[in-house]
C-alpha cells in the first residue's frame, strides 16, 4: 500500500512514520509536511535511507499541491496528523488554526473522494470534549461524550471531526477518527509541558507552571498511540470514532516534580505563573471501545514512559538544541541543495 502521513515531520506524525517503517517494510510511506515551526525536517532525515520512504514538502490547505500529491503518489490510505496544535498559540492567533485544521481537512478529504482512497483517518484530540471536574475521578470521556470545546484549538479540531463525519455520511468517504489523550515521548517539540520542563531543568532555568499546577492530564506514550492508530487502520469500523487513552492520569505539578527528581534538580526551580485563559481542569479517556472491539491496551506505564522520554532528551541534545537556536529551520534547504530532500510538488 501507499500510505500518506500528513504532518509526518511533527511529533506524533514522525513517530508514526518510524512505527510504519518498522512494521510495514513492504508499504510505501509518504511524509507530507509544510514544515511550519513545529515541523522538523531533521526528525525524518534518518528515514530517507529507507527505500520505501519519501518526504514531500507541501501544505494541506493548497488544493493544487494536494491534487499533485495524490496524482503522483496514488495513496491508498491517508492519515492526517497535520494540525496547528498549541493551545496558547490558538488563543493569540486563531485564524491559522481554523485554516489548517478545518480547511486543510476538507481539502484532503476532497482529494480522497476524487482519487478513491481506501481509508482516510483523522487524528483528533480529547480536548474536543472540554474538561472534567477534579472532584469526580469516576467520570471519563467516552465516544458518546458531547463535544464541548474550550479554546480555538479544540474548537477547530472538533469542527474538523464533524466535517469528517459529514463527509462519511454524505459522500460515503471511508473515514475513521481517533481522539487521544496527551502524548509524550521522543521528538516532542519543546514548547509542550514535558519537553519544556526537561529542557529548562537541564539549563537550570525556572520552570513555568500554570495556575496551581493541579490540572490533570491522561498521559499516553506516543508509541502506544501509534500502535492504536495502526490497529484502527487494519480493523476499525468505517465511520467510527475511537478514543485512545493511557490510563495514566497525573496532575501537571506532579509531572514537573517527577522530571526534577529524575534530573537531580530542586523544586525551587518551579515558578507558578498566571493561568492560561480557559484552562481545562481534567482530561481522562475511557478506551473501552478500542479495547473491546480491537484488542488495544496501552502498554507503557507513566513511570516507564517518562523515564524513557527523559533519557531520549539527554541522548539527543543536538536535536532540541537546534530547535532552540532556530538552526533546525535551515535543515530542509541545506538538504535540498545537496539533493537529499524532495522538492515541493
Q: Which of 59, 127, 131, 218 is catalytic?
A: 127
Q: Is 131 a catalytic residue?
A: no
Q: Which of 42, 84, 126, 131 is catalytic?
A: 126
Geometric angle at alpha carbon 162, from 158 and 168, rounded to 5°? 145
Whole-angstrom distance, CA of residue 108 vs CA of residue 100: 11
Bridge partners of residue 141, in order along the sequence: 285
Task: Report whether 16 contacts 226 (CB < 8 A).
Answer: yes
Query: Which residue in the block uniquely carries the three cell numbers 525536517?
Result: 41
Phi, psi at 10, each rounded to 5°: -90, -170
Bridge partners of residue 29, in order along the sequence: 3, 53
Q: Is 127 a catalytic residue?
A: yes
Query: Which residue in the block uniquely carries the three cell numbers 480547511?
Result: 103
Q: Which of 18, 32, 41, 153 is catalytic?
A: 153
Q: Would you state the torsion angle of the CA atoms of residues 181, 187, 193, 195, taken in this order, to the nearest 10 degrees?
A: 150
**Closest residue by Cα to residue 174 from 106, 85, 239:** 239
**Closest residue by Cα to residue 104 from 182, 159, 181, 54:** 159
Q: Is 42 a catalytic residue?
A: no
**127: Cβ–Cβ under 8 A, 6 or more apart, which residues?**
87, 149, 150, 151, 153, 154, 157, 280, 283
Give the residue numbers annotated as catalytic, written as ranges.
126-127, 153
Amino acid at each position: 500500500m501507499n500510505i500518506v502521513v500528513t504532518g509526518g515531520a511533527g511529533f506524533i506524525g514522525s513517530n508514526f512514520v518510524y512505527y510504519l517503517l518498522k512494521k510495514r517494510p513492504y508499504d510505501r510511506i509518504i511524509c507530507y509536511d509544510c514544515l511550519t515551526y513545529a515541523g522538523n525536517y531533521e526528525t525524518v532525515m534518518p528515514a530517507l535511507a529507507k527505500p520505501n520512504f519519501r518526504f514531500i514538502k507541501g501544505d494541506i490547505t493548497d488544493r493544487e499541491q494536494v491534487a499533485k500529491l495524490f496524482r503522483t503518489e496514488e495513496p491508498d490510505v491517508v492519515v492526517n496528523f497535520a494540525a496547528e496544535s498549541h493551545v496558547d498559540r490558538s488563543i493569540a492567533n486563531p485564524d491559522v488554526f481554523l485554516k489548517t485544521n478545518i480547511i486543510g481537512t476538507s481539502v484532503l478529504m476532497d482529494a480522497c473522494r476524487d482519487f478513491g482512497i481506501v481509508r482516510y483517518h483523522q487524528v483528533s484530540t480529547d480536548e474536543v470534549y472540554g474538561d472534567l471536574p477534579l472532584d469526580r475521578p469516576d467520570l471519563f470521556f467516552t465516544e458518546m461524550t458531547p463535544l464541548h470545546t474550550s479554546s480555538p484549538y479544540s474548537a477547530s479540531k472538533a469542527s474538523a471531526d464533524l466535517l469528517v463525519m459529514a463527509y462519511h455520511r454524505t459522500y460515503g468517504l471511508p473515514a475513521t477518527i481517533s481522539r487521544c489523550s496527551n502524548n509524550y515521548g521522543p521528538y516532542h517539540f519543546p514548547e509542550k509541558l514535558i519537553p519544556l520542563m526537561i529542557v529548562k531543568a537541564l539549563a537550570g532555568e525556572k520552570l513555568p507552571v500554570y495556575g496551581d499546577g493541579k490540572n490533570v492530564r491522561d498521559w499516553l506514550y506516543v508509541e502506544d498511540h501509534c500502535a492504536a492508530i495502526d490497529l484502527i487502520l487494519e480493523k476499525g469500523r468505517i465511520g467510527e470514532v475511537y478514543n485512545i487513552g493511557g490510563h495514566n492520569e497525573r496532575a501537571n505539578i506532579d509531572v514537573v516534580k517527577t522530571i526534577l527528581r529524575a534530573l537531580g534538580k530542586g523544586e525551587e526551580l518551579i515558578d507558578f505563573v498566571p493561568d492560561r485563559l480557559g484552562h481545562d481542569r481534567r482530561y481522562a479517556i475511557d478506551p473501552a471501545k478500542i479495547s473491546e472491539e480491537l484488542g488495544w491496551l496501552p502498554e507503557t506505564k507513566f513511570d516507564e514512559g517518562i523515564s524513557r522520554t527523559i533519557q531520549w532528551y539527554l541522548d539527543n541534545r543536538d536535536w532540541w538544541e537546534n530547535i532552540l537556536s532556530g538552526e533546525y529551520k535551515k535543515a530542509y534547504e541545506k538538504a535540498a541543495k545537496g539533493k537529499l530532500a524532495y522538492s515541493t510538488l
